[in-house]
Structure 1
Amino acid sequence: MTTTVSKRARALLAGAALLIAGAACAQEAGADSGQSVLIRNANVYTATEGAGYLEEHDVLVRDGKVAAIGRGLSFPGVPVVEAGGRPLTPALFGGITGIGIEEVSGEDRTTDNALTLGADDKHMVVRPEFDVTLAYNPDSVLVPVTRVEGIGFTLLGAGSRAGGSIIGGQGAVVRLDGGPDPVGPRVLFVQLGSGSARLTGSSRAAQWMLLDQLIDEMRGRIAPDSRMALLTPAGRETLARYIDDGGRVMVGVDRASDIRQLLRWSKRHGVRIAIAGGAEAWKLAPQLAAAGVPVFVDPLANLPSDFDHIGASLENAARLHAAGVQVAFTQSGDASHNARKIRQLAGNAVANGLPWENGLAGLTRVPAQALGVDDRVGTIARGMVADLVLWSGDPLEVSSVAEQVWLGGWAIPMRSRQTELRDRYLAPKPSAESGDLPRAYPAAVR
């Protein structure tokens, strides 16, 4: 069977060859220069506020950080990658996921993002001190699968199963550079609405009662040895960091009436919240903007799939942005194994009224700011960590691909388990006569 290679495919292959050659030069130059590279003639989307687009500019990376941005840059001994006018962006945000704490979502023994305690409904166990980052595995198969798609950081989410509580626990941002530790402050996860009513006596009204009780207990209005007490000493100490010390609380909520109560509750107790989901958030856009609450939306959550999504709209992100709300992106469903689709979500938000530059910001600067890691990731600026992606075309188009990813200035191998399986099974069928059978093949091929 003859394979026809299109002009576009040839161009992509040629670009990949240039990038591979650049990486090889970096290795030959020695370990110190491995974090240094000069990317020439790129259309640079810095994702910074203000002038975020620089046409045909160079980006010089030294010691893992952006050293200069301009035209005609040079630096002796630094490997050069010719971008040829292709887009260069910061590495993208993968959304709220379980990357590194979940391998197979359907196999409980490989998932560590949820706590199951106190299955007896008569005794709810609340453990805000539960921290999923302690289970993070930087060698997870999902890490290279995700980062070859141009994604450089994600927020590890914490949730609850049966026997848990509406307070799922803590997560944090991790960079997908192979490092074992989070790069920013912890985030406390709370889940509200009809989906969590089973954890609060089958009524969403009880969620506010329990949240108020937890704050009373944390502030000493309920004695630790009281029969009403729900928190451990560590739990009270952890909760205080989010209620009194300004830590970020990520609240999963969709229905407008629940969001309204959330705004009142957070103002009453001085809680610094962000919203994940927010299918009906557009109905309260001015109030969210006034309160400075960022919203992590799923732009494809546009159907009345349940009674919390009756007002779901494809224009959710655009309407929130128009009102002054900071909009970032996350996705529903199996986000860990499909993080690459988050670009499609942002592209759909742009197709439904969100300005393009704000679509990119929702994958870069906005989540970095909301999660307290904007000093490390999310923009291309002098002094920032060089987490960069060179794209074949518009990064919000699904037809574009990440041609090269740099994390901390290192050119990341553009390989993953998925690409290796693809290459193996698309390769010409080996023969026993050739003697080049892979290990997994039998001695004879029939």
Structure 2
Amino acid sequence: MSRLSILAGALLLALSPALAAQELLIRNATVHTATARGTLQDADVLVRGGKIAAIGKGLAAPADVPTIDAGGRPLTPTLFGGITRIGLEEVSGEAKTVDATLTLGRGTREMTVRPEFDVTLAFNPDSALLAVNRVEGLGWTLLGPGTGEGGSIIAGQGAIVRLDGSPDPAGPRVLFVELGDDVSSLTGQSRAAQWMLLEQFFDEARGRIPATSPMAMLTPAGRAVLSKFLAGNGRVVFKVERAADIRQLLRFADRHRLRIAISGGSEAWKLARELAAAKVPVFVDPLANLPADFDRLGARMDNAALLHAAGVPVGMVQSNDASHNARKVRQLAGNAVAYGLPWEDGLAALTRVPAEAFGLPGAGGLAVGQRADLVLWTGDPLDVSSTAQQVWFGGRAIEMRSRQTELRDRYLGPAGALPRAYPAPDRAR
């Protein structure tokens, strides 16, 4: 019997008591803490009451705590899935199953400007996408609204949610704004008009434009939301790609004292020193290395490495189909490492950096007192050939099962009670 089979058997034996007690001792693991402690070889992690109670070598095993021998395999925090619509959409091509975008009016004057739009209210913790992603080692994601036709460059609010089935957001609200060519149709085909409109929205929120003015575009609730972010109570994520737009954004954020982060940032490397000085985290897609449009002419594979070298906090996001392929963020981090980002910082891009940027308490690293949201891997977690052997949320082992594993077992496994979809081919012909 292989060591992997022995480990799987041990996990199954430990599953039931772990579910009930949230108590666990994992021995002999390569513990990637994603903190200043770095990686600990042949270390133990003790979980009591759903939180990490101790990390070290040769920890004493309490009599009532199940023990698992990791056999030297990597142990990490659960990973950040990026900015997604997990729990907001089931089938991206079927509009009735997508609840992430507010689209009412058309044109600049009729723009639907509703910063109070909060997609977390539509979050479905029973969505099939949660299980699909958590068995891949993802523990949390940032729900992000879309702009859509007839929407606004201010898309609305989202928040961090855990993928353990918890129904409510786990972190504070985040405001989303999109700039650049992709949303120019919402602003009279003018990039300059985007800054003009943002200035107007903020003037309204500060009361400089009366709510009764014919120029006013915000509801009372919308003004209250923008006022909160203007007071520094929350992060504003700007989806922006072009270096010239990022430069204007840094000036705009400084003028209005906004706490910002950047999503996309294909040309962010050109302003790495300025971003580092402003302490702006940048969430990049390391696979976006081609000039897909004029906003991304400077896209390059070592974007993350260049930003990190300048001192910019770097995270990962996907450009396409982020919800159904959220598990591919590991590939993004692996590619960034291949192009110069240090391995420990590749892991931090999926753990510590987003946790700090978006205010997720008790997450982002393995340390005493933190929630025991853990993943035991078969190999390097940034290598796509590795898989999650077991995932724990708050010390509870989850069932490593999803709709995809059920389909795999039905159609690739031996014949069972259910018929196969297609008969096996007659190879004699």
Q: Which residue of 2 aligns with 1:4?
A: none
Q: Which residue of 1 aligns with 2:4?
A: 12
Q: Which residue of 1 aligns with 2:262?
A: 275
Judge conservation of contact 1:156–1:171 (CA < 8 Å) in 2.
Answer: yes
Give, in angstroms, the shift of residue 51 of structure 1: 1.9
Instruction: Classify 1:189/1:117 alpha carbon distance in 2 versus 1 (closer, same or farther; 3 Å).
Output: same
CA distance in 2, matches of 1:267, 1:22: 52
CA distance in 1, matches of 2:413, 2:332: 33
Amino acid at match of 1:230: M
Instruction: Classify 1:122/1:219 alpha carbon distance in 2 versus 1 (closer, same or farther; 3 Å).
Output: closer
Q: Which residue of 1 aligns with 2:340?
A: 353
1:212-291 aligned within 5 A: 212-291=199-278
SS of 1:116's equivalent? coil
Give, in angstroms, the shift of residue 247 of structure 1: 1.4
1:358-369 aligned within 5 A: 358-369=345-356
Q: Deviations over 1:129-173 (max 9, x none)?
A: 000000000000000000000000100001111110000000000
Judge conservation of contact 1:93–1:367 (CA < 8 Å) in 2.
Answer: yes
Q: Which residue of 1 aligns with 2:74?
A: 87
5+ residue gaps in structure 2? none
Is the aligned partner of 1:39 residue 2:17?
no
Q: Which residue of 2 aligns with 1:314?
A: 301
Give, in angstroms, the shift of residue 18 of structure 1: 1.9
Judge conservation of contact 2:287–2:332 (CA < 8 Å) in 1.
Answer: yes
Q: Deviations over 1:59-79 (max 9, x none)?
A: 010111001111222111111
CA distance in 1, matches of 2:7, 2:267: 43
1:151-230 aligned within 5 A: 151-230=138-217
CA distance in 2, matches of 1:224, 1:12: 65
CA distance in 1, matches of 2:264, 2:49: 38
CA distance in 2, matches of 1:280, 1:201: 24
CA distance in 2, matches of 1:200, 1:399: 44
Is the aligned partner of 1:425 residue 2:411?
yes
Amino acid at match of 1:356: W
Q: Which residue of 2 aligns with 1:23?
A: 15
Could you say what the CA RMSD is over the residues aligned between the two structures, in angstroms?
Answer: 1.6
Q: Which residue of 2 aligns with 1:64?
A: 50
Q: Deviations over 1:84-123 (max 9, x none)?
A: 1101000000000000011111111111111112135541
Q: Which residue of 1 aligns with 2:418?
A: 438
Q: Which residue of 2 aligns with 1:433?
A: none
Amino acid at match of 1:51: R
Task: Name whichever of 417-426 and 112-121 sits farther off.
Answer: 112-121
Judge conservation of contact 2:18–2:395 (CA < 8 Å) in 1.
Answer: no
CA distance in 2, matches of 1:229, 1:322: 44
Judge conservation of contact 2:281–2:357 (CA < 8 Å) in 1.
Answer: yes
5+ residue gaps in structure 1? 1-6, 431-436
Judge conservation of contact 1:86–1:391 (CA < 8 Å) in 2.
Answer: yes
Amino acid at match of 1:422: R
CA distance in 1, matches of 2:182, 2:10: 50
Is the aligned partner of 1:408 residue 2:400?
no
SS of 2:271's equivalent? helix
Residue of structure 1 aligned with 2:378, choices 365, 380, 392 = 392
Count of matched residue positions in the alignment of Structure 1 and Structure 2: 422
Q: Deviations over 1:363-418 (max 9, x none)?
A: 00000000011x32111000000000000111001111100000111001100000
Residue of structure 1 aligned with 2:91, choices 81, 89, 104 = 104
Judge conservation of contact 1:246–1:271 (CA < 8 Å) in 2.
Answer: no
SS of 1:39's equivalent? strand
Given the two structures, how large is their TM-score scaled by the length of structure 1? 0.92
Given the two structures, how large is their TM-score scaled by the length of structure 2? 0.96
Judge conservation of contact 2:78–2:138 (CA < 8 Å) in 1.
Answer: yes
Give, in angstroms, the shift of residue 11 of structure 1: 4.2
Give, in angstroms, the shift of residue 440 of structure 1: 8.9
Q: Which residue of 2 aligns with 1:3?
A: none
Amino acid at match of 2:324: H
Amino acid at match of 2:81: G
SS of 2:296's equivalent? coil
Judge conservation of contact 1:159–1:167 (CA < 8 Å) in 2.
Answer: no
SS of 2:347's equivalent? helix
Q: Deviations over 1:166-199 (max 9, x none)?
A: 0000000001111000111100000000001111
SS of 2:404's equivalent? helix
Give, in angstroms, the shift of residue 25 of structure 1: 4.5
Amino acid at match of 1:80: T
Q: Deviations over 1:221-264 (max 9, x none)?
A: 11101111010000000011111233100000000000000000
Judge conservation of contact 1:129–1:235 (CA < 8 Å) in 2.
Answer: yes
Judge conservation of contact 2:264–2:284 (CA < 8 Å) in 1.
Answer: yes
